């Protein structure tokens, strides 16, 4: 066979080409199944009904279909794209995503300006209605009940720089304000180093009551989790503790405390629980940041059982606070119980998982939009994508396009725990035999693994496969498993 050369493939493209000669993409298995699910539940018909108010009859050039707009935002979640430009470029570049949106090779996909204009055209309530539609779809499948929810919040870095802030009263820039203060202190024509040294000694210099960003006034100066001071927002989630599905997503100013924002998210979660089923929200689980006497009493007045972790505040005085004392002690007793500890563990797992999927792999930790309404529109559809991923994972075993590549080898890596969990006592002797086969003399032993159970599981699976067959393909698979497990074993 001769080697092909790229230079010989350069040619003048034909002006006309038959459609039968165009190479078609096989599609993407995940997006094909997602389209099947959306079509089965009438997604396009629903969103077109919601968005009919924004258009006038059938006259004029047809706009981008509402189903295409919301699908593009879902692509941003599943592909981890942070900006609308990235979404538009990805859709135009991918043949499988063209098929997902319903665009042919001779059609131009929507660009980022069309996407942003449509976002500004559709109200926030329309995006929230799409989120509620997805949540209702999960309820029909028995994946969410909304009776016990966990609430937690995280900060999102705004698309605004600290060096651009201005005073709320006069509109003066920060550097100009510093020069004015330095001049009043007797420093004429200060350099940047002198201004930085002068500013370092000042206290309470980043007050949100005095400063704002001229292009994003909703952003607030706050300290991020890594210690940096940035303009940011606070996103708050309410997650169902039975399935991990999101029942509410709200956006708050970053300078508001958790005790001040919990009730807005709670009301959204209660409204979602009423829409998806006959039962109401009964229990709420939060971390220590939400604990206060007023919060616990207010939750009791709303007929919601609280499991709010209590920080160590030392001995408290309850004089003339009989009601607060009863509710705080009742909450403390529930949190320390067996059910309370189990709910706290599930809270830390499920709510943090939604943060990881939406803001880390979903690409929204650093925002590219400005204004709380614009940001919340994107967050709400991200939350809908998170719930759709839960539905897809339950129905088909795959919740994201990135997970498709793991479906082939995933069951193979789960083999030790599945076999060991159901036949632990019956296979102890076999595991010892397989351990001897898997680790012959001269090879690296398994004693460096952290636990005896893990060593026996690894040796059992590896040795069992060796005993089954010793073909070349099996040898390659065993070497791959050995590398994944952290050791190398000789296969005779």
As a whole number of angstroms, the longest Cα–Cα distance in the chain is 93
Selection from 162-166, 249-253, 484-488 with the highest mean pLDDT? 249-253
pLDDT at 259 over 60: yes
> Strands 166-167, 211-212: parallel, antiparallel or unpaired by DSSP?
antiparallel
Among 52-61, 124-133, 455-464, the range scoring the smallest mean pLDDT is: 455-464
Taking the complete model, does pTM exceed 0.75, yes or no? Answer: yes
**Is residue 19 very low, low, confident or very high in pLDDT (cuts 50, 70, 90)?**
low
Task: List Cβ neighbours of 63 (8 Å cut-off, separation of 6 or more).
Answer: 55, 118
Please, are residues 146 and 274 in contact by the beta-carbon 8 Å criterion? no
In the chain, what percentage of residues exceed pLDDT 70? 77
Among 13-17, 218-222, 365-369, the range scoring the smallest mean pLDDT is: 13-17
**Is residue 457 very low, low, confident or very high in pLDDT (cuts 50, 70, 90)?**
low
Average pLDDT over residues 389-395: 91
Return phi, psi of residue 478, to 5°. -65, -40
> Strands 211-212, 148-157: parallel, antiparallel or unpaired by DSSP?
unpaired
Average pLDDT over residues 44-70: 88
pLDDT at 30 over 80: yes
Average pLDDT, the chain: 82
pLDDT at 435 over 60: no
Selection from 103-107, 402-406, 413-417, 449-453 with the highest mean pLDDT? 103-107
Among 125-129, 142-146, 452-456, the range scoring the smallest mean pLDDT is: 452-456
Please give the pLDDT value at position 267.
Answer: 94
Please, are residues 147 and 280 in contact by the beta-carbon 8 Å criterion? yes
**Is residue 492 very low, low, confident or very high in pLDDT (cuts 50, 70, 90)?**
very low
**Is residue 424 very low, low, confident or very high in pLDDT (cuts 50, 70, 90)?**
very low
Average pLDDT over residues 306-314: 92
pLDDT at 471 over 90: no
Please give the pLDDT value at position 176.
Answer: 86
Please give the pLDDT value at position 432.
Answer: 44
Please, are residues 335 and 347 in contact by the beta-carbon 8 Å criterion? no
């Amino acid at each position: 066979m001769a080697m092909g050369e790229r230079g010989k493939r350069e040619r003048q493209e034909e002006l006309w080409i038959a459609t039968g000669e165009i190479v078609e993409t096989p599609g993407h298995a995940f997006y094909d199944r997602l389209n099947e699910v959306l079509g089965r539940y009438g997604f396009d018909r629903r969103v077109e009904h919601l968005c009919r108010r924004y258009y006038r009859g059938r006259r004029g050039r047809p706009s981008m279909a509402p189903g295409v707009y919301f699908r593009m935002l879902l692509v941003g979640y599943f592909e981890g794209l942070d900006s609308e430009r990235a979404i538009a470029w990805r859709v135009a570049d991918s043949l499988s995503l063209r098929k997902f949106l319903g665009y042919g090779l001779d059609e131009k996909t929507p660009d980022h300006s069309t996407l942003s204009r449509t976002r500004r055209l559709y109200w926030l309530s329309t995006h929230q209605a799409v989120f509620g539609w997805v949540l209702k779809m999960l309820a029909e499948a028995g994946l969410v009940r909304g009776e016990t929810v966990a609430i937690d919040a995280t900060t999102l870095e705004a698309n605004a720089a600290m060096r651009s802030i201005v005073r709320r009263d006069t509109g003066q820039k920060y550097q100009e304000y510093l020069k004015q203060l330095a001049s009043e202190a007797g420093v004429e024509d200060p350099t940047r180093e002198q201004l930085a040294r002068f500013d370092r000694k000042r206290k309470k210099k980043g007050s949100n009551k005095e400063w704002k960003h001229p292009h994003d006034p909703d952003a607030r100066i706050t300290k991020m989790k890594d210690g940096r001071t940035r303009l940011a927002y606070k996103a708050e989630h309410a997650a169902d503790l039975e399935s991990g599905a999101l029942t509410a997503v709200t956006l708050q100013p970053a300078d508001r405390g958790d005790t001040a924002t919990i009730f807005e998210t709670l009301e959204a979660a209660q409204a979602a629980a009423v829409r998806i089923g006959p039962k109401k929200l009964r229990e709420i689980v939060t971390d220590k940041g939400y604990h206060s006497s007023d919060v616990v009493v207010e939750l009791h007045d709303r007929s919601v059982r609280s499991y709010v972790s209590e920080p160590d505040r030392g001995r408290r005085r309850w004089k003339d606070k009989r009601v607060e004392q009863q509710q705080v002690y009742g909450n403390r007793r529930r949190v320390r119980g067996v059910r309370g500890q189990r709910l706290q563990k599930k809270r830390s797992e499920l709510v943090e998982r939604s943060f990881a999927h939406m803001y880390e792999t979903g690409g929204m930790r650093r925002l590219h939009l400005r204004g709380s309404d614009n940001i919340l529109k994107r967050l709400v559809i991200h939350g809908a994508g998170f719930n759709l991923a839960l539905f897809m994972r339950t129905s088909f075993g795959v919740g994201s396009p990135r997970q498709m590549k793991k479906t082939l080898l995933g069951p193979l890596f789960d083999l030790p725990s599945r076999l060991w969990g159901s036949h632990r006592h019956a296979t102890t002797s076999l595991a010892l035999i397989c351990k001897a086969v898997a680790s012959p003399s001269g090879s690296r032993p398994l004693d460096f693994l952290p636990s005896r159970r893990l060593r026996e599981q690894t040796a059992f699976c590896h040795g069992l496969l060796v005993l089954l067959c010793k073909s070349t393909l099996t040898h390659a698979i065993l070497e791959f498993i050995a590398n994944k497990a952290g050791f190398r074993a000789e296969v005779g």
